[in-house]
């Protein structure tokens, strides 16, 4: 059965998170919030992409711990196992297998143009080959599930474009096999910036402890970090991401958590102090239930393990069919 036949079904959503650093506000506003809305409307699969974590140095025990914690994070952020399929990437071997076919579809030149590879490899003396071929594995993740829609933050846009290019090239070369996925970015806060270095995106707290709001930060920590967020000296309330990146980041976050437009937020304040106070309150309101659910779910590891097991079972049922289609398309001889 070709990819076209799958269009008759419900829109399929796939997305993933790498279990490297602690989960932070960028993950929440860029990804999780979209996911929890999507699961009410679409057929959703969400994955802890542990194979991707091997592209950088990570202690094995730490990887296991973070894989589990990331799954807890999904639930805490409002992803419901009754509505969505949650699983761990390495539990479904088809990801690694399709990844090789993707590596043989994407070109070396395309991979060298990936800005995230340049950023992450630039200062290092030794770079793992997997960091370079990462977009091929990511394409495999998405294409295995015939995903129509991939909700991610802005930083993943280039990887999504290459996944689309790979799908189109493969279909042209071997016949209709994969669904070509669409990227879905959130309306606001598609790129949450670091509070201390607003020219950089918010990422792991290990790299910038005061610039990153972790999902589990206490109300005091949130308030402290927002109050100390870098703005500018002219004190003029205006949305100008180029000239006033720190303020623009705060305004976007406020719009994202309150559902107001950025213009509306700008109109509501004359000074930075009150904006920061209200933003800290609004963030706490959004993150408090996440902390509470985290407490609840992390107390039952057995339950999480069995949920992930069921998720992997369901995911493998879909992935095995797509992989068989792809292997057949490229001419790999089936077992007799």
The token pair that represents 289 in the structure block = 């239930």
Question: Residues 45 to 64: which contact ligand TYM by CB under 6 A?
Answer: 49, 52
Considering the rule CB under 6 A, would residue 94 count as an interface residue with ligand TYM? no
| CA nearest to 30, candidates 11, 15, 13 | 15
Q: Measured at the alpha carbon of residue 47, what is the angle toward residues 43 and 53, in degrees to the nearest 5?
A: 160
Among 3, 13, 15, 101, binds ligand TYM (CB under 6 A): 15
Q: Is 296 left (phi over 0), alpha (psi -120 to 50) or beta?
A: alpha
CB of 181 to ligand TYM, least distance (A): 8
Q: Is 120 among the residues known to form the active site? A: yes
Considering the rule CB under 6 A, would residue 283 count as an interface residue with ligand TYM? no
Q: Is 204 among the residues known to form the active site? A: yes
CB of 203 to ligand TYM, least distance (A): 6
Considering the rule CB under 6 A, would residue 18 count as an interface residue with ligand TYM? yes
Q: Is 327 among the residues known to form the active site? A: no
Question: Residues 177 to 196: which contact ligand TYM by CB under 6 A?
Answer: 190-192
Considering the rule CB under 6 A, would residue 38 count as an interface residue with ligand TYM? no
Considering the rule CB under 6 A, would residue 149 count as an interface residue with ligand TYM? no
- What does the binding site for ligand TYM look like in residue numbers (CB under 6 A)? 14-18, 26-27, 29-31, 49, 52, 138, 141-142, 150, 152-153, 155-156, 159, 190-192, 201-203
List the catalytic residues: 120, 201, 204
């Amino acid at each position: 059965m070709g990819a076209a036949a799958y269009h008759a079904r419900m829109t399929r959503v796939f997305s993933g998170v790498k279990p490297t650093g602690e989960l932070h506000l960028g993950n929440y506003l860029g990804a999780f919030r979209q996911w929890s809305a999507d699961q009410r409307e679409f057929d959703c699969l969400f994955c802890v992409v542990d194979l991707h974590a091997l592209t950088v140095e990570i202690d094995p025990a730490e990887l296991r711990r973070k894989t589990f914690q990331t799954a807890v994070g999904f639930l805490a952020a409002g992803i419901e196992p009754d509505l969505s399929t949650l699983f761990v990437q390495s539990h479904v071997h088809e990801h690694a297998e399709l990844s090789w076919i993707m590596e043989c579809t994407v070109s070396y030149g395309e991979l060298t143009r990936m800005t995230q590879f340049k950023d992450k490899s630039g200062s290092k003396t030794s770079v793992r080959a997997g960091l370079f071929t990462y977009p091929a594995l990511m394409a495999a993740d998405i294409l295995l599930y015939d995903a129509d829609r991939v909700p991610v933050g802005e930083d993943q846009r280039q990887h999504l474009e290459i996944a689309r290019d790979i799908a189109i090239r493969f279909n042209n070369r071997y016949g209709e096999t994969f669904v070509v996925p669409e990227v879905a970015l959130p309306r606001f806060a598609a790129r949450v910036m670091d509070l201390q270095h607003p020219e950089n995106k918010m990422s792991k707290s290990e790299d910038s402890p005061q610039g990153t709001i972790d999902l589990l930060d206490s109300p005091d920590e949130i308030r402290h970090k927002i109050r100390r967020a870098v703005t500018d000296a002219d004190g003029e309330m205006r949305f100008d991401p180029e000239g006033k990146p720190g303020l623009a980041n705060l305004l976007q976050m406020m719009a994202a958590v309150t559902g107001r437009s950025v213009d509306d937020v700008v109109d509501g304040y004359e000074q930075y102090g009150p904006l920061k106070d209200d933003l800290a309150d609004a963030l706490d309101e959004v993150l408090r239930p996440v902390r509470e659910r985290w407490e609840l779910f992390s107390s039952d590891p057995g339950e999480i393990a069995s949920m992930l097991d069921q998720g992997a079972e369901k995911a493998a049922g879909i992935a095995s069919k797509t992989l068989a289609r792809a292997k057949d398309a490229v001419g790999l001889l089936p077992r007799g």
